[in-house]
Amino acid sequence: MNIVVCIKQVPDSTEVRIDPETNTLIREGVASIINPFDMYAIEEAIRLKERFGGKTTVITMGPPQADDALREALSMGIDEAVHLSDRAFAGSDTWATSLILSRAVKKIAQFDLLVCGKQASDGDTAQVGPGIAAHLNLPQATYVRRIDTVHLDTSPKIMVVERLVEEGYEILELQLPALITVVKEINEPRLPSLRGKMKARKEQIPVWTHKDLNLEEDKIGLNGSPTQVVKIFTPPAKQGGKILQGEPKDIVEELYKEIKDFL
């Protein structure tokens, strides 16, 4: 079973602090990590490979330093990595990003399954996964919390998944090749191994630009993106709330008075 995982490098939100004066994010010195949701995607790909054999490939689109994210995925046990890095990609919105990633997937050619995290922790859009599926015209299942069964001996190959929705979960049967996006519940990502780290350090990772992917410049970057960010601003700070103090009984009385209108 050949699997491709798309990942993104994001700032580590456990390290992100808010400047109390300006109420803005302090980005200085914040480490970059693999998007937490993508860790589940990587783990699931490795587990499927361990069960069914085949090859796993990880792709990321991002600046040169995103190389670290790819090497971390390799150290966990992913077989190969591809880095999409090009000035012409900068400013891509989810439409253009999913186009670029889908072209890279196409170039890799042989795959049964594409796995993405449900969303990136910085942008929070959850649009790129289904976007890639649409560009490649693949069947999709988003928010997958469990892979029930996989039949690789049938034609076409089939996979049954559980998809988390607001009130419970749906069971979907997908023909492969397909795309899934996964949620935290699906597994517990492993840590890298020493052997993996040693191997990852030496690995030659190909870097592809828009030319390698035959992408026209008016379809990517800011120019190819239907949406434009016109302003980024910090939301007004929440004013300090009211602190209720005293005996529990009095606190409850006071709280009740304050909240009864919302009930």
Partner 1 sequence: MLNYGFTEEQLMIKDLARKVSEEKIKPKSKEWDEKEEFPAEAIKALAQSDLFALCIPEAYGGMGGGLIELCIATEEVSRIDGGVAASYAASFLGMFPILLFGTEEQKKKYLPQIASGKSLTAFAITEPEAGSDASAVATTAKKDGPSYVINGLKHFITNGGDADIYTIIAATAKNKGPRGLSGFIVEKGDKGFDFGKKEEKLGIRASSTRELIFQDCKIPQDRLLGAREGLGFIATMKTFDQSRPGVASQAVGIAQGALELAVAYAHQRVQFGQKISSFQGIQWMLADMSTKVEAARSLVYSVARAVDRGDKDIAAASAQAKLFASDVAMEVTTQAVQIFGGYGYMKDYPVEKHMRDAKITQIYEGTNQIQKGIIALHLVREYGK
Partner 2 sequence: MSSIRVIDSKCTGCSLCVKACPFGAIEIKDRLAVIDLTKCNICGACKDACKFEAIEVVKKVGIPKKDLSSYKGVWVFAEQRDSVVSTVVFELLAKAQVLAKDLRTYVGAVLLGHNIKEQAQKLILRGADKVFLVDEPGLKNYIAENYTSAISHIINKYKPEIFLAGATSCGRSLVSRIAVSIYAGLTADCTGLDIDPVKDILIQTRPAFGGNIMARIISPNFRPQMATVRHKVMPEAQPDRSRKGEVIEEKIDSLSEDKRVKFVDFIKEVTSTVNIAEADIIVSGGRGMQAPENFKLLEELAQALGGAVGSSRAAVDAGWYPYSHQVGQTGRTVCPKMYIACGISGQIQHLVGMQSSKVIVAINKDPDAPIFKVANYGIVADVFDVVPLLIRKLKESK
Residues of this chain that bind partner 1 (CB under 8 A):
190-195, 197-198
Q: What is the C-alpha to C-alpha distance for residues 71 and 227, in angstroms, rounded to an integer?
A: 32
Residue placing its CB nearer to partner 2 in the complex, 184 or 197:
184
Supply the angle between the helices 67-76 and 194-202 in degrees, to the nearest 10.
140
**Cβ neighbours of residue 112 under 8 Å, at least 6 residues apart?**
1, 2, 3, 54, 152, 157, 176, 177
Contact 102, 136 (CB under 8 A): yes
Q: Is 76 exposed, middle or buried (0-12, 13-18, 19+ CB in 10 A)?
A: buried
Q: CA nearest 175: which of 104, 116, 106, 113?
A: 113
Residue placing its CB nearer to partner 1 in the complex, 55 or 197:
197
Q: Could you say which of partner 2, partner 1, none residue 198 binds, taking C-beta under 5 to 8 angstroms by partner kind?
A: partner 1
Q: Please report how close the Cβ of residue 205 comes to partner 2 at its closest, in angstroms.
A: 16
Q: Could you say which of partner 2, partner 1, none residue 178 binds, taking C-beta under 5 to 8 angstroms by partner kind?
A: partner 2
106 binds partner 2 (CB under 8 A): no
Q: Please report how close the Cβ of residue 89 comes to partner 1 at its closest, in angstroms.
A: 31
Contact 74, 196 (CB under 8 A): yes
Binder to partner 2 among 47, 55, 135, 190 (CB under 8 A)? 135
Q: What is the C-alpha to C-alpha distance for residues 7 and 56, in angstroms, rounded to an integer?
A: 13
Q: Could you say which of partner 2, partner 1, none residue 180 binds, taking C-beta under 5 to 8 angstroms by partner kind?
A: none
Residue placing its CB nearer to partner 2 in the complex, 81 or 186:
186
Q: Please report how close the Cβ of residue 13 comes to partner 1 at its closest, in angstroms.
A: 16
218 binds partner 2 (CB under 8 A): yes
151 binds partner 2 (CB under 8 A): no
What are the φ and ψ backbone dihedral angles of 168, each rounded to 5 degrees?
165, -135
Residue placing its CB nearer to partner 1 in the complex, 200 or 213:
200
Residue placing its CB nearer to partner 2 in the complex, 101 or 200:
101
149 binds partner 2 (CB under 8 A): no
